[in-house]
Amino acid sequence: MNLFQAVLLGIVEGLTEFLPVSSTGHLTIAERLLGLRVGGVGVTAFTAIIQVGAIVAAIVYFRHDIGRLIAAWVRGLLHRDARHGQDWRMAWWVIIGSAPIGVVGLLGRHLVTGALRSLWVVAAALIGWSIVMALAERLGRRTRSEQDLTATDAIVIGVVQCIALIPGVSRSGATISAGLLRGLDRVAATRFAFLLSIPALVAAGAFEAVTAAGDVGAGVGWIPTIIATGVSLVVGYASIAWLLRIVARHSIVVFIWYRLALAAVLIVLLATGVVAAT
């Protein structure tokens, strides 16, 4: 991988990680168009590692919230009378909601990094989950705020987040849709989706960095990987700020139309043989 490709993929990751359009799907498409072997262990590890850049952007953006939640959680562990606040509960909701994807991601890792990296899967998932997003927008009551989150919400949204392991679904698209269907307003659903993504993506990136370090070094190279990670951090920060402003005033329908258009183009390219599925 050359530096131009690394910068381009870093931009793609940063732009799409937090938008409900599927960063993994976009990276798979971009890597294939750049002539990279998307099923190779080096490229697969690269894809997971550069997500850490975007997630660091989320940590920086939500640093005050994260610091407050950690402090409240620690105080609650040490003092019984500190276990009744909203921050104590929210900290537990993030922990509970992160558990399902940790288990499923570990058990299904080889499937996710193998057969599911097909561009036909990406196209199908883009269309399939767009239907779910449309239903969430139409049926979601949007009457509950962040303060109304419950353990049941965390479990449901956390389980749905596992579906986002399929390229083309979108982690934020899955969790925001689940939040809307649970009656949360768009801002509450989006903020919780972002907080829930932090443990999962940090764990996934760290796991790949440790277990596939040799594959990255021998295949893609660590310099392009580090550059792409840095680019995804900067672009991801801007993407978070933009999306939160958008969902505060508008629906996510615009992203549904984009997903469907992208899927249509991808299907044409695959059907005509312009690009290969894997």
For 185-215, what is each residue's pLDDT tens digit? 988 998 898 888 888 777 777 776 677 667 7
Type of residue found at 19: L
pLDDT over 90 at 221, yes or no: no
CB 36 within 8 A of CB 1: yes
pLDDT in tens, 244-263: 888 777 788 889 999 999 99
pLDDT over 80 at 25, yes or no: yes
Residue 35: its pLDDT value, please?
85
**Which position has the higher pLDDT, 37 or 31?**
31
Average pLDDT rounded to a whole number, residues 115-124: 84
Q: Is the whole model's pTM more than 0.95, yes or no?
A: no
110: Cβ contacts below 8 Å, ≥ 6 apart: none
**Which position has the higher pLDDT, 221 or 8?**
8
Cα 27 from Cα 118, distance rounded (Å): 12
Average pLDDT rounded to a whole number, residues 110-118: 67
**Which position has the higher pLDDT, 137 or 104?**
137
Residue 29: its pLDDT value, please?
87
Residue 230: its pLDDT value, please?
95
Q: What's the chain's average pLDDT?
A: 87
pLDDT in tens, 69-109: 999 999 999 888 888 888 999 999 999 999 888 788 777 66
Cα 271 from Cα 276, distance rounded (Å): 9
pLDDT over 70 at 51, yes or no: yes
- Predicted confidence band of residue 111 (pLDDT cuts 50, 70, 90): low
Type of residue found at 179: G
Residue 248: its pLDDT value, please?
73
Residue 23: its pLDDT value, please?
86
For the chain, the helix, strand and coil percentages under 3-state DSSP, each to the nearest 5: 80, 0, 20
Start-end of H helices in 62-85 = 63-78
